[in-house]
Structure 1
Amino acid sequence: MSSPGPVRDEGSPDERSDLRPASPGDGQWGARGRRDRPGGGRPTPGGRWSARAGTDRRAGRGGRPAVDRPRQAAYEAIAAVHRDDAFANLVLPAILREEGLTGRDAAFATELTYGTLRHLGTLDAILTAAAGRDVQRIDPPVRDALRLGAYQLLHTRVPAHAAVSSTVDLVRMVGPGATGFANAVLREVAERDADAWVERLAPSMESDPIGHLALAYSHPQWVVRAFAEALGGDLGETTRLLIEDNERPPVHLCARPGRVGAVELADEVGGAPGAFSPYAVYLSGGAPGDLPAVADGRAHVQDEGSQLVATALTLAPLDGPDGRWLDLCAGPGGKAGLLGAIAAERGARLTAVEVAEHRARLVAQATRDLLVTVLHTDGRTVGQDAKLPEEHFDRVLVDAPCTGLGSLRRRPESRWRRQPSDLSALTRLQRELLGAALRAVRPGGVVAYVTCSPHTVETHVTVTEAARRSGVPVDFVDARPLLPAGMPGLGDGPTVQLWPHRHGTDAMFLAVLRRG
């Protein structure tokens, strides 16, 4: 089997991707509220990993075996995330290649890396209690090794003795003076399962529901509060969302219109047509970047939610001509690729704008065989840049930079990096970009405002404020009819919020506005 490869997706300001284990049917093996799904590595009955995955070991000091390569790879990726602010989806593939890990070993390393990062908040609370000191006071290399060991103890079926001994071996390599400490802490962690630790450490749902959910499901409290607000205060549904955030996300392909149909692509790659987007194909695993259809530009990796919101722009009713389309924040190019393919079928032409030079190159690569004009410029320069005239475009997409809280399944480390203080600068930028889009669109044309975040400040507040300040007449278009008929849980309109736990997509927000 091939090793997991990077999966490139879009829907946030950063290039997003995730890694899939090599075996189909692979899932998450956590203890709280998850569906145990066998597959990949060599899980025991019930679907959790056994210690048999990855038994190759390198010689350690004094002839003692060092850490096996999958655990070593996972540790190096986790350490890079915390030491260098790296993204796991970018560093882990390189580590797997360097170590020569494929198949079960690569899948095991991937599960350990992403599982540890997803459960970091809860693991740190447990390690603090077990160590009798704040986890932040532990030497960082030792701390990351303990996190990896605690994840194995609490969320896999790796035998406790194997999880403890392998972690102590790892600490012997990265913090030799702390082996006794690590052994004692992990044995304390092993005294309880994950549920028992949460019961001991989390506040009760009655006294502090946000605090309870944050610790039980490993999300910062401010994120849990934002999710609950966006879900109308429904804590039951908020819990389901948090559980889904801790699942490994599926891999979605987008079959490019005019190049390949979804059914044909599904047959070719061994996947299944998507539930909602007419272009979506679900993969069960593997390395999508290695697929011929992706390599030759007939398909690309893209969350189904991103496909739906981009397609909605093309379906909005329009008065007058329909030949000039604009993607105002196009990097890294997934939505531009889909819009460019649809535009080609309809005799339209897309202009794709990206302010970052390296991301503009990604857009050009993603649209290399389409009639798409890529501009490396700031989308806010409408009316100042001769290539971005006012009142010129018929359809405009604003896929605005945001906190990315809707894609925490794919970027688990992001939940620990984002802060409420980030919102001020982001929402100002969002309003400015949407204002520029409303200047760029001609009267009678439509603008789709999209974010990969359900935070109400980035969604409803940004849209209403930008429309109010735009200085041009604006009407909201009901976005619900622009999505597939029968799609559940779309709310009362006119905007739409997609959800991982309702729709199996990233939490994409969509508002469609028509300029009067």
Structure 2
Amino acid sequence: MNENTPRRNDKGRTRNRGGERHYSTSAPSARRRTADPARLVAFEVLEAVSNDDAYANLVLPSRIRAHRLDKRSAGLATELAYGSLRWAGTYDLVLAECIDRPLAEVDSAIVNALRLGTHQLLNMRVPHHAALSETVALVRERIGAGPSGFVNAVLRRVSETEAEGWTTLLLAKARSEAQALGIEFAHPEWIVRALRQSLVIHGSDEAQLPELLAADNAAPAVNLVALPGLGSLDEALAEGAAPGELVADSATTNHGDLGRLASVREGTVRVQDVGSQLVARAFAQVPVETGAERDGRPEAWLDACAGPGGKAALLGALAQERGFALDANEPQEHRADLVERAFAPLDAGVWRIRVGDAREIGEILPNEYDRVLVDVPCSGLGALRRRPESRWRRSPEDIAGLGPLQREILESALKAVRPGGVVGYVTCSPHPAETVAVVDDVLARWSEPGTRLTRLSARGALDAVALTPLFEGTADRQDAQLWPHVHGTDAMFLSLIRKDPAS
């Protein structure tokens, strides 16, 4: 028998015993059997968002710690999770072109895995073979061997067209400019229209809309604040953070888990968007005319919607520096606990916590405070860059539903403030229905005997506390709207209203 002749076993089957042996890279022995930890973390975040209505920015750090990811893997997990959530709507349109049944009929876990794979194929520098094999390994481990074949087939179809080609195909099917922008920048069409309207109402050029949508998709730097009189940024700066350019006692960083910093663990340095820092400081600094100094008493401040405690902690530190006191109101017990935890670095005599409805304070404690801040519940359209899943959760009905609540809270705050005192109305949304419309309506129907309401310059107040001018050339407007594409902040809105004695 020739040495190259195939040998047969007792069942007549041949075995390749001679010559060079060849192995397929897709052979079972060569396949990845376990999921990459970074991709596993990203998948778990997507599942928590889908199944538990969780927020990615709250789930991700705990999953990174649970899987003990190093800095590089944590960065990959963050990009995978946030990118897949941010672009989910556009990726779903791509996937719909590759699947022969409605995406709604596909198991949600499989859809999440497909979004992760699509993000790697279309928006990351991951080789196609790695994106496919790693995603299939993830599905095999977490969902099952059967679905892994389906995922492999769908993602191969996705990979046959480059990102630009998919964009061209989808834009050709758009029925309106707003829908086209929504596809290109991964925003629901109604949000595109709302943001265009917001730019115009707040005095900006609607031509900035693509720039604003792009800013929503840019990963934001992490902003830090050192509580005035209590915290120091020295530790953070030594670890690579950069001094903040917009507001005092702030820094920016892109470095890993900040829980390793002692100052962050102690609460004297906090993670807080610079927009929130600016509005809190502007509110605290605007002059009041309540006669507190003439009476020889300290000013009394109220944060009427204090949970989870970020602005409240900063306001408390500012009040403590000046010898004032701060009450913090929060309707939910568990969020009130978070506020109390945020107050830990402050002197106990500076703050009090009230658990109750902000809409009742004006009746229970009329003319009680010199300053009242109301950071009202809102749609969060101003924080889409930090909460990428929010854009797909919200609807126009949410905006309509929040309006009455926002008006009632503002009216209550105005009743709770003393004549000569100031109310700061804040939203993390630029939507006109949550900002100027609320303030206009409340001021128009104000009827408390012996008082009148005066809009103050929130733009001037913000410029007074900012390290660089924010609103040059816009002195004709009183209310202030910050923008991510202009100021590098969340899209925070601030209106300052003084309650004056009627003349």
- Give the TM-score taking structure 2 as reference length: 0.85
Shift of 1:109: 1.5
Match among 118, 138, 153 for residue 150 of structure 1:
118
Preserved contact between residue 277 and residue 484 of structure 1 (Cα < 8 Å) = no
Shift of 1:163: 0.8
2:482 maps to which residue?
498
1:353 maps to which residue?
329
Amino acid at match of 1:400: V
Amino acid at match of 1:150: T
Match among 470, 483, 492 for residue 488 of structure 1:
470
Structure 2 SS opposite 1:202: helix
User: RMSD in angstroms over aligned alpha carbons?
Assistant: 2.1
Match among 151, 164, 167 for residue 195 of structure 1:
164
Match among 138, 159, 168 for residue 136 of structure 2:
168
- Does 429-438 or 73-82 show the bigger shift? 73-82
2:281 maps to which residue?
311
Shift of 1:87: 1.9
Shift of 1:142: 1.6
Amino acid at match of 1:296: E
Spell out the pairing of 1:315-326 with structure 2 (5 A cutoff). 315-319=285-289, 320-321=291-292, 323-326=299-302
Preserved contact between residue 294 and residue 300 of structure 1 (Cα < 8 Å) = yes
Amino acid at match of 2:157: E
Per-residue CA deviation, residues 413-446 of structure 1 (Å, 9 max, x unaligned), is 1111111111222111110110000000111111
Match among 224, 246, 249 for residue 276 of structure 1:
246
Percent identical: 47
Amino acid at match of 2:436: H
Q: Does 1:381 align with 2:360?
A: yes
Q: 1:282 to 1:493 in 2, by over 3 A?
A: same
CA distance in 2, matches of 1:267, 1:77: 30
Match among 32, 35, 57 for residue 67 of structure 1:
35
**Structure 2: gaps spanning 5 or more residues:** 1-27, 293-297
2:403 maps to which residue?
427
Structure 1 SS opposite 2:81: helix
Per-residue CA deviation, residues 72-128 of structure 1 (Å, 9 max, x unaligned), is 221122122112222222333333233222222222112111110011111111111
Q: 1:403 to 1:62 in 2, by over 3 A?
A: same
Structure 2 SS opposite 1:343: helix
Aligned length: 452
Spell out the pairing of 1:460-479 with structure 2 (5 A cutoff). 460-472=436-448, 473-479=452-458
Structure 2 SS opposite 1:67: coil
Spell out the pairing of 1:280-291 with structure 2 (5 A cutoff). 280-291=250-261
Shift of 1:463: 1.0
Q: Does 1:455 align with 2:416?
A: no
Structure 2 SS opposite 1:515: strand
Match among 310, 316, 336 for residue 340 of structure 1:
316
Shift of 1:475: 0.7
1:183 maps to which residue?
152
CA distance in 1, matches of 2:79, 2:87: 12
CA distance in 2, matches of 1:161, 1:63: 12
Per-residue CA deviation, residues 180-233 of structure 1 (Å, 9 max, x unaligned), is 43223212211222222111112589x721111101111111111111111128
Shift of 1:265: 6.0
Spell out the pairing of 1:32-181 with structure 2 (5 A cutoff). 65-173=33-141, 174-181=143-150
Structure 1 SS opposite 2:35: strand
Match among 187, 195, 198 for residue 219 of structure 1:
187
Shift of 1:328: 0.5
CA distance in 2, matches of 1:261, 1:169: 45
Amino acid at match of 2:343: T
Amino acid at match of 1:189: V
CA distance in 1, matches of 2:235, 2:374: 29
Preserved contact between residue 359 and residue 409 of structure 2 (Cα < 8 Å) = yes
Preserved contact between residue 251 and residue 303 of structure 1 (Cα < 8 Å) = yes
Per-residue CA deviation, residues 300-325 of structure 1 (Å, 9 max, x unaligned), is 11111001101111121221226111
CA distance in 1, matches of 2:136, 2:240: 41
CA distance in 2, matches of 1:83, 1:259: 40
**Structure 1: gaps spanning 5 or more residues:** 1-59
Q: 1:445 to 1:193 in 2, by over 3 A?
A: same
Shift of 1:278: 1.3
Q: 1:364 to 1:460 in 2, by over 3 A?
A: same
Structure 2 SS opposite 1:421: helix
CA distance in 2, matches of 1:94, 1:441: 40
Per-residue CA deviation, residues 246-304 of structure 1 (Å, 9 max, x unaligned), is 11111111111112456x46544432221121122111322223211222232211111
Structure 2 SS opposite 1:249: coil
CA distance in 2, matches of 1:98, 1:298: 26
Spell out the pairing of 1:388-403 with structure 2 (5 A cutoff). 389-403=365-379
CA distance in 1, matches of 2:439, 2:99: 47
Preserved contact between residue 272 and residue 283 of structure 1 (Cα < 8 Å) = yes
Structure 2 SS opposite 1:484: helix
Preserved contact between residue 255 and residue 265 of structure 1 (Cα < 8 Å) = no
